[in-house]
Amino acid sequence: MKFQDITTQENRASKIGIKITIAKLLEIAYSKNKGLTTKIIRKKGNFKISINGNGKVKLHGSAGVLSFNGGVALEAIGAKVKFATIHFSKGEGQTANYKASFSFAGGVTSLSVTGTLNIEELITSCSGLLCQAARLLKGNSKRNEQRLKEIMEN
Amino acid sequence: MKHLIIIIFALVLLSCAVTDEKVGLFERYNSYKSEIIKQKSNLILPMLSENRRNQIKSLGEKEFPILSSFPNILHKNVNHYTKIKNKIGCLTINGYGENNSPIVLSIKYLYENNEWLVDFVEIYYADLAKEFQTKGICPSES
């Protein structure tokens, strides 16, 4: 692979792209089963999201997983994910800290991202992140992506 | 004569064990659902593996949302398959959930104390019904 190709892939699979993807993955889980997703992300213990090379996403609860196809959400990264894990742990107040590690097909590069999001804001109202992400999924404008980026950069 | 009685007794015990092990996993799944309704509870502890029972006693029921939700996920069953190897049994049910969404429910059972007990569950939300499984698969825990 040429240097230019590597650089392009790294740029496309940016940290911002990963943050947007995390938001979209949570939104998809929420759209599949609102009640169960809420219980998993609200439970006291840590939770995790994993992605395999086929784009299958798993939201890990204790003694079980909720899984689905990452499809649209993974397109935001712009590179094929080989595998990824996103660990969520309790932060201060109603926040959750997350640490994401993404590896991309071809072994060219991997990226790690950390951040914090407000769990209650995420799930309690339609002004929360999940509803915003749901709306943003329907559009693809730069303005929408910018808004989602702002949400995940808290 | 004494030895003969012991042998017959052992054979009877063995046949009971084999019979129990062959109790269908789908029947166990339906029994679990029936108990949920009968007991008006989210979790039926005696029907969970020993390891899960201990974890729930230690951490609390709220930490196990998937175990307490899986019996209510499918609103309509299409078909089911099983896979049994040694003391691990897996039940895969294809069906439809809320809003008629296609779902593949996979449940891992452990054979403990002469009965199949729920240990791990995967709820897969398929995009299309053509993703339905055609054989019993065990949920991946990693």
Supply the CATH number for residue B85's domain. 3.10.450
Q: What is the pTM of this model?
A: 0.82
Q: Decide if B91 is inside a domain.
A: yes
The per-residue pLDDT for B97 is: 96
Q: Decide if B1 is inside a domain.
A: no
Q: Decide if B77 is inside a domain.
A: yes
Stated as kind and residue range, the H or E segment containing B12 is helix B2-21
Burial of A93 (0-12, 13-18, 19+ CB in 10 A): exposed
A30 CB-side CA count, 13 A: 22
Task: Give Cα separations from B59 to A88, B52, B71 (angstroms).
Answer: 18, 10, 21
Nearest CA in chain A to B63: A43
Burial of A90 (0-12, 13-18, 19+ CB in 10 A): middle
| Amino acid letter, B7 | I
Q: Indicate the number of domains in chain B.
A: 1
Q: Decide if B44 is inside a domain.
A: yes
Q: What's the rounded mean pLDDT across residues B53-65?
A: 94
In a mutational test of the A interface, the residue from B104, B125, B137, B142 whose CB has the highest number of chain A CBs within 10 Å is B125
Task: Sort out which chain A residues have CB atoms less than 8 A from B64's CB and list them.
Answer: 61-64
Specify whether the CB–CB gap between A76 and A24 falls below 8 A.
yes
Q: Indicate the number of domains in chain A.
A: 1
Structural domain span for residue B80: 23-131
For chain A, helix (H) and strand (E) counts, in that order, are 7, 6
Q: Is the pLDDT of residue A38 over 80?
A: yes
The per-residue pLDDT for B20 is: 47
Structural domain span for residue A107: 3-152
Question: Which letter, b or e, does each residue of A143-153 get, where b requires 16 or more Cβ atoms within 10 Å of its Cβ?
Answer: ebbebbeebbe
Q: Decide if B56 is inside a domain.
A: yes
List, for residues B80-121, the tens digit of each pLDDT value: 999 999 999 999 999 999 989 999 999 999 999 999 999 999
